[in-house]
């Protein structure tokens, strides 16, 4: 295959490009090498052709599309900070330009695979003893301020239990999630209507070595590990009992290649299928790093976060893909990589202070 990866110089893009090259495919990447993903020119795997350009610029897409047959569209803006207009400008305008060019018929592209996120589910699916399956509203800031972490039933207001969330209902609770859903809907509508093959992959929390720790978007493991490297205990948001699905970047790369090679159109959750609390993650890291510290839960919270994110991975399993790496192996790999990195002081707490200053991370009363 001749593959164009947008955002191919990033964390997931590089690992996917690597895998494609090993399998004998041709890889071009379109990337503007922008911060915070990059704080200097990346060392790209040999064999990847880099087109340095911006997905918001039509002429840069034209330079990169050339003879490519499939596009893995990963370039986007992702952030918890209130950069709302940039989220929509990069994520939707970039995708719309791609389809304008496809419709002009001057490219060889037949398939588009979009890298999306669990963030499109917002709070996801729950079960209420009285009202059955429900999809809670975004959690209210006044409840979070009082340290009430669990969302109530949107119908009766009672207690509800988190369930695995399949691909059928998407209700984002953050501007990032909403921008990814808008991007998805463009791919779905324009792909379907104009006869292009399309696939949407919704990734869980992707982990692994070489995850740039200057990028504040990458949450728990980056923050905990940076603190441990400075002999500080992990500080968990909320009460640490939030459920997340952590997936290894190499498993994500295999899922991307599976989708590029030919999954039927649709949205697919790409995750490990195993839920862990943030407290589990902190304890695993403490064990792996051999540190005798106690995780702290001072009641901080991040506006827009979902309480739990537990994806149902049965669609991808039915398509023949399954995650292989476990959380302990992922955590060990990340810790070993981070310990080998220079200048960790540069990144320690910088991103978290910025989130506090902008009111993105707050403390309950």
Ligand X SMILES: NC(=O)c1ccc[n+]([C@@H]2O[C@H](COP(=O)([O-])OP(=O)(O)OC[C@H]3O[C@@H](n4cnc5c(N)ncnc54)[C@H](O)[C@@H]3O)[C@@H](O)[C@H]2O)c1
Binding site for ligand X (CB under 6 A): 7, 9-13, 31-34, 37-38, 54-56, 74-78, 90, 115, 117, 203, 205-206, 212, 215
State the minimum distance, in angstroms, from the CB of residue 308 to ligand X. Answer: 16
Q: Which of 80, 121, 176, 218 is catalytic?
A: 176
Burial of 265 (0-12, 13-18, 19+ CB in 10 A): middle
Instruction: Give the CB-nearest residue to ligand X.
Output: 10
Say if residues 212 and 38 touch (Cβ distance below 8 Å).
yes
Among residues 176, 260, 222, 250, which one has the least CA distance to residue 347? 222
- Smallest distance, ligand X to C-beta of residue 106, A: 21
The rounded distance, in Å, linking the Cα atoms of 355 and 65 is 37
> Which residue lies nearer to ligand X by CB, 37 or 237?
37
The position carrying tokens 């499109």 is 120
Nearer to ligand X, 33 or 344 (CB): 33
Question: Could you tell me the smallest distance in angstroms from the CB atom of residue 283 to ligand X?
Answer: 21
Residue 355 three-state SS: helix
Judged by DSSP in three states, 144 sits in helix
Shortest distance, position 213 Cβ to ligand X, whole Å: 11
Nearer to ligand X among residue 15 and residue 227 (C-beta): 15
Comparing C-alpha atoms, which of 190, 215, 170 is closest to residue 309? 170
Measuring CA to CA, which residue among 238, 200, 196 is closest to residue 76?
200
* Closest approach of ligand X to the CB of residue 124, in Å: 14
> Between residues 9 and 361, which has the closer beta carbon with respect to ligand X?
9
Three-state DSSP at 106 gives coil
- Asked if residues 272 and 251 have their Cβ atoms less than 8 Å apart, the reply is yes
Give the C-alpha separation, 195 to 92, whole Å. 20
**Cα–chain center distance at 159:** 29
**3-state class (DSSP) for residue 198:** strand
Decide whether 160 or 351 has the Cβ nearer to ligand X: 351
Q: Would residue 80 show up in a list of annotated catalytic residues for this protein? A: no
Where in the sequence numbering do the catalytic residues fall? 176
């Amino acid at each position: 295959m001749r593959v164009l990866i947008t955002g191919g110089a990033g964390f997931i893009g590089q690992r996917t490009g690597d895998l494609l090259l090993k399998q004998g495919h041709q890889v071009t990447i379109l990337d503007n090498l922008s911060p915070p993903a990059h704080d200097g020119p990346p060392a790209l795997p040999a064999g990847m052709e880099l087109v340095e350009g911006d997905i918001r610029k039509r002429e840069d897409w034209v330079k990169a599309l050339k003879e490519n047959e499939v596009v893995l569209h990963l370039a986007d803006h992702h952030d918890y900070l209130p950069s709302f207009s940039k989220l929509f400008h990069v994520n939707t305008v970039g995708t719309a330009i791609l389809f304008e060019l496809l419709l002009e018929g001057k490219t060889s592209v037949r398939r588009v695979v979009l890298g999306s996120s669990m963030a499109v589910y917002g709070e996801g699916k729950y079960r209420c003893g009285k009202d059955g399956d429900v999809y809670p509203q975004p959690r209210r800031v006044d409840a979070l301020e009082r340290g009430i972490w669990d969302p109530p039933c949107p119908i009766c207001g009672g207690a509800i239990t988190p369930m695995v969330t399949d691909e059928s209902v998407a209700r984002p609770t953050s501007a990032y999630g909403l921008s990814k859903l808008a991007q998805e809907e463009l791919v779905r509508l324009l792909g379907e209507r104009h006869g292009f093959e399309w696939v949407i992959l919704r990734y869980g929390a992707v982990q692994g070595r070489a995850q740039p720790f200057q990028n504040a978007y990458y949450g728990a493991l980056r923050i905990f590990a940076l603190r441990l490297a400075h002999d500080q205990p992990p500080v968990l948001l909320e009460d640490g009992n939030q459920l997340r699905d952590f997936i290894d970047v190499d498993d994500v790369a295999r899922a991307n290649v599976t989708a590029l090679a030919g999954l039927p159109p649709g949205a697919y959750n790409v995750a490990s299928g195993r839920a862990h609390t943030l407290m589990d993650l902190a304890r695993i890291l403490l064990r792996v790093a051999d540190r005798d510290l106690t995780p702290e839960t001072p009641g901080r919270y991040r506006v827009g976060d979902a309480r739990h994110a537990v994806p149902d991975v049965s669609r991808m399993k039915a398509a023949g893909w399954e995650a292989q790496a476990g959380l302990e192996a992922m955590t060990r790999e990340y810790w070993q990589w981070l310990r080998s990195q220079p200048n960790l002081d540069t990144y320690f707490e910088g991103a978290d202070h910025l989130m506090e200053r902008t009111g993105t991370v707050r403390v309950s009363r």
